[in-house]
């Protein structure tokens, strides 16, 4: 009776020790695959909770397969037994009828490590070839297909260089004449603006006869004459302007307007403003004639 009891205890102890061993299992998620097809390889491990196991990473040699992705799952522990699993997605480019893969699991200990290998997992190569018809069938398609046009950049660059050379030559030949034409247009535009502002200023002065209106009128006239003659007209007194321009009637006309500013006298100044406008027009025509004469000599 004692011998039987001892045998049962020994059997249970051996069973418990077996239950504490590391178990590794691996398999492909499908039996066969096409060349280069993505296939999952499942690697599972069951081991005591106190042990530490690690799975291969991307640095491991997966020959003859190519590793595409590694997907890990959360460990599950129950009654002291831990279960881990990892799925390696691989592809095969070998033409062998069957390819085999076995990945190890490593147990880390204090001074050494133990390697566990599962059985080889087999993956068969699936070769598929569509049937070839006896006579080729052409698909009718009369829809216009536009062809992408490519730019000839060398030709475009050459044309651009030629155009620039032509423009440069034309500018070199006619630069002075073009410049004088632009100057003439500028003179005409300034005269048109002056006429418009002069009409507004004289109308305002005749209406209000105020110091502000008179001062604005004089400033407008002096500024325009200065732009035509390049003389410091705005810095001169009325008498100096008359002397420098050789027309003392200009002095009397300016003086008539200045009397409103300095003496506060209201006066009839239409004759004076008309003469000042006449002088401005004469200087404008003179400036325009000089520019045309210079252009004719080019």
Q: Provide the pLDDT confidence category of residue 88 given band limits of 50, 70 and 90.
A: very high
Tell me which residue range forms the domain holding 64.
Answer: 21-125
Q: Using CB atoms within 10 Å of the CB of residue 229, give its burial: 0 to 12 exposed, 13 to 18 middle, 19+ buried.
A: middle
Q: Provide the pLDDT confidence category of residue 169 given band limits of 50, 70 and 90.
A: confident
pLDDT at 86 over 80: yes
What is the rounded CA–CA span in Å between residue 234 and residue 269? 21
* Residues shown for the chain: 298
User: Taking the model in full, what pTM does it have?
Assistant: 0.43
The domain boundary, picked from 125, 140, 167, lies at 125
What is the rounded CA–CA span in Å between residue 126 and residue 34? 5
What is the rounded CA–CA span in Å between residue 67 and residue 89? 6
Q: Which of 156, 195, 202, 220 is nearest to 284 (CA)?
A: 195
C-beta separation of 236 from 244 below 8 A:
yes
Residue 132 lies in a domain: no
233-276 pLDDT, tens digit each:
999 998 999 898 898 999 989 998 888 877 666 556 888 899 99
Residues 6+ apart with CB under 8 A from 198: 217, 220, 221, 277, 280
**Do 165 and 281 belong together in one domain?**
yes
Please count the structural domains in the chain: 2
pLDDT at 32 over 90: yes
3-class secondary structure for 187-253?
Answer: HHHHHHHHHHHHHHHHHHHHHHCCHHHHHHHHHHHHHHHHHHHCCCHHHCCHHHHHHHHCCHHHHHH
**Do 275 and 190 belong together in one domain?**
yes
pLDDT-above-70 percentage for the chain: 86
Question: How high is the pLDDT of residue 289?
Answer: 87
Residue 143 lies in a domain: no
CATH number at residue 95: 2.60.40.10
Q: Which of 257, 264, 261 is nearest to 202 (CA)?
A: 257
pLDDT at 14 over 70: no
Residue 66 lies in a domain: yes
- Dihedral of CA 87/88/91/94: which sign? negative
């Amino acid at each position: 009776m004692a011998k039987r009891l001892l045998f049962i205890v020994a059997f249970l102890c051996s069973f418990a020790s077996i239950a504490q061993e590391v178990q590794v299992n691996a398999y492909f998620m499908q039996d066969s695959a096409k060349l280069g097809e993505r296939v999952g390889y499942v690697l599972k491990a069951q081991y005591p909770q106190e042990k530490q196991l690690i799975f291969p990473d991307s640095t491991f040699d997966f020959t003859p397969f190519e590793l595409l992705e590694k997907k890990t799952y959360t460990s599950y522990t129950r009654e002291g037994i831990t279960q881990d699993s990892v799925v390696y997605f691989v592809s095969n480019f070998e033409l062998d009828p069957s390819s085999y893969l076995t990945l190890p699991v490593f147990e880390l200990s204090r001074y050494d490590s133990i390697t566990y290998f599962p059985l080889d997992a087999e993956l068969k190569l699936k070769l598929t070839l569509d049937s070839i018809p006896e006579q080729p069938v052409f698909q009718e398609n009369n829809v216009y297909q536009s062809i992408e046009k490519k730019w000839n950049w060398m030709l475009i660059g050459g044309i651009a260089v030629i155009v620039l050379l032509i423009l440069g030559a034309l500018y070199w030949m006619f630069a002075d004449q073009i410049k004088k034409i632009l100057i003439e247009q500028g003179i005409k535009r300034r005269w048109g603006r002056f006429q418009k502002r002069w009409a507004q200023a004289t109308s305002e002065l005749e209406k209000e006869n105020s110091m502000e209106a008179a001062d604005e009128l004089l400033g407008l006239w002096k500024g325009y004459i200065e732009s035509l003659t390049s003389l410091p007209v705005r810095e001169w007194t009325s008498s100096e302007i008359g002397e420098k321009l050789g027309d003392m009637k200009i002095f009397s006309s300016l003086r008539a307007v200045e009397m409103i500013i300095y003496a506060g006298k209201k006066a009839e100044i239409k004759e004076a403003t008309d003469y000042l406008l006449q002088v401005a027009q004469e200087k404008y025509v003179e400036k325009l004639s000089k520019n045309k004469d210079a252009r004719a000599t080019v």
